[in-house]
Structure 1
Amino acid sequence: MTGPDAPAALRATGLGFRYRTRGAPPLRDCGFTVPAGHITALVGRNGAGKSTLLHLAGGLLRPRTGEIRVLGDLPGSPRARARVALLTQDKPLYPRFTVADTLRMGAKLNPAWDQPAAARIVEEGDIAPDARVGELSPGLRTRVALALALGKRPELLLLDEPLADLDPVARGDLMATLMAEAAEHGTSIVLSSHVLPELEQTCDWVLLLRDGRIALSEDADALRDSHVVVTGHLDQADSLDGPPGPEGAARRHTVVHRRVSGRQLTALVRRRGLLRGEWHVEPAKLEDILVGHLQADATAGPTTAGARAEAAA
């Protein structure tokens, strides 16, 4: 259930935020719903507003316009603070604390603290309990910060580029930990990441920011089912327009992004009905879909096939 009455991990209406410095606002008139119980990929180019959105959801910032709710509560409220954990890019930890001190602090601050879970994440990284946090490598500090976040046993876990400091093996291990956490405890996870291939098998909901606005908020499987990558001769680009609707209105496929090489057209298409013409059609991977929507013109939006072919020629 994903309608207006569905349980929501995140829900925003007219959400906007602007920093006091000059420049375009990072978020403008954002409205979306992320259902509870999902692992959500928060995707966008640098400066799209991903960190700002997570800081708003975590209660570190307040909206300039509109509203955002986490698990039905206002971010920063006592109920929200008890139910939500936010791991930011800078991973604020006390550098002079030992790892054991850090976990003891977590236990004192969080009534639902899960010591075995937090200790397991630390032990899997071969981190000595008496090691000082400030002397750990960035990757090991990330593991300690994640142990602190998961030990809180949150209902909603917000992660801002959490795996950037880790090597590929450690990233795979921690992604597996996050998937197990979601499956076993029903934890809702919103994960901001630039490593798109790693989201393919992990995330089941997509929240895509483009130019400060929400471009996608959809189920990942539904996106895969509706998108294809087509390749064919440029002259038949008009055939990507769908057949007429029942009342004579044009029912068109949406070409999200296209690339022309000579007279060959390769396009990411969100199709509505059958494709006409002689096209080589392949299923789109989630990475193809995300990159295509990030490359789409955020101002004009995806165009119809005929207009695109005219512009390409």
Structure 2
Amino acid sequence: MHEYAISVDGLTYSHNPGSPPSLLNISLHLPPGSRTLLVGANGAGKSTLLQILAGKRLVKNADVRVKGKDVFRDSPDGVTFLGTEWAMNPVVRGDITVSAFLDSVGGYRHKERRDQLLDILDVDLDWRMHAISDGERRRVQLCMGLMAPWDVLLLDEVTVDLDVLVRDELLTFLRNDSTTRGATILYATHIFDGLNSFPTHVAHMHHGYFVTKPMPWPCVSSADSPSINLYHTALSWLKEDRERRRESERMFDNKTRGARRNETVPTDSETFYRKYDYSH
């Protein structure tokens, strides 16, 4: 057993050379068996961090290890990454039954876990992949990704399409699986209802850096006051992020988001579209 299931030191990453960094001096150390939630607004860097940990984006000048192994030079086994882009892949939208699809990716080797997940996710083996909804396709993805036992699970917003009942039962399965096998979960989400008892740690990201590094959950304040829960904590953090961003925009005279009510002179496009506006 390695001291840390996930270990990152000095990670800075830009999507393009010369562009501002999407991640800035990230350090992260998560013990085996931990379940950590990444909290942050859209664009905070959560997905980029998860993709790097999964070895999907290359970095050169940082030490990024999972299960004690360099994710780029000595890829560890037992690591599962589940992201939202999977459902858009044309391969998984073909005219094939769910049963044949799962068998094609090794479902027959993990029958017990596969069957448990089929029940939890309420999946019909006779569904045809091209004819089901996005939410149903997401359930198939989760069954496919989770049926082989994992040591480290990286989740990027994959529960967003699930109804509340299936989501609750899936999270119960993941929590029990992590506790029983000492497996590690790093989970980025914007949905915090029903998650209060799920994480062992929570972390707060903003503009590519940690405002709050992974801290044990529940924190002292939530234990002292039951009314302070994960949802309220996340909401407070995101409000602080928005104010922090707005203050930065005011200081550096950047264009602000939202309506621009002080613009009295019509733009060229407005003049053009007014001329050819046939809606009236």
Q: Is TM more than 0.5 here?
A: yes
The letter for the 2-side match of 1:11 is: S
Mapped contact 2:110–2:147 kept (Cα < 8 A): yes
The letter for the 2-side match of 1:204 is: T
Give the aligned partner of residue 92 of structure 2: 94
The letter for the 2-side match of 1:219 is: P
Give the aligned partner of residue 129 of structure 1: 125
Query: Which runs of 5 or more residues in structure 1 are unaligned?
Result: 230-280, 301-313
**More displaced 10-residue stretch of structure 1: 96-105 or 147-156:** 96-105
More helix by percentage: 2
SS of 1:163's equivalent in the other structure is coil
> Partners in 1 of 2:78 and 2:55 — Cα distance?
12
Shift of residue 17, structure 1, vs aligned partner: 1.2
Shift of residue 48, structure 1, vs aligned partner: 0.4
TM-score of the superposed pair, with normalisation by structure 2: 0.75
> Partners in 2 of 1:146 and 1:103 — Cα distance?
11
The letter for the 1-side match of 2:85 is: D
Give the aligned partner of residue 285 of structure 1: 229
Mapped contact 1:37–1:182 kept (Cα < 8 A): yes
Q: Say if 2:3 is the partner of 1:59.
A: no
Q: Pick 1 or 2: higher relative contact order, CA cutoff 8 A, min separation 6.
A: 2
Mapped contact 2:44–2:205 kept (Cα < 8 A): yes
Matches within 5 A, 1:199-238: 199-216=195-212, 217-221=214-218, 224-226=219-221
Matches within 5 A, 1:158-173: 158-173=154-169
SS of 2:57's equivalent in the other structure is coil
| Identity percentage of aligned residues | 25
More strand by percentage: 1
> Partners in 1 of 2:18 and 2:134 — Cα distance?
32
> Partners in 2 of 1:197 and 1:63 — Cα distance?
34
SS of 1:196's equivalent in the other structure is coil
TM-score of the superposed pair, with normalisation by structure 1: 0.68
Give the aligned partner of residue 103 of structure 1: 102
Mapped contact 1:85–1:152 kept (Cα < 8 A): no
Shift of residue 165, structure 1, vs aligned partner: 0.4
Mapped contact 2:121–2:143 kept (Cα < 8 A): no
Mapped contact 1:106–1:151 kept (Cα < 8 A): no
SS of 1:296's equivalent in the other structure is helix
Shift of residue 282, structure 1, vs aligned partner: 7.7
Q: Say if 2:257 is the partner of 1:294.
A: no
> Partners in 2 of 1:227 and 1:201 — Cα distance?
12
Give the aligned partner of residue 84 of structure 1: 79
Aligned residues: 240
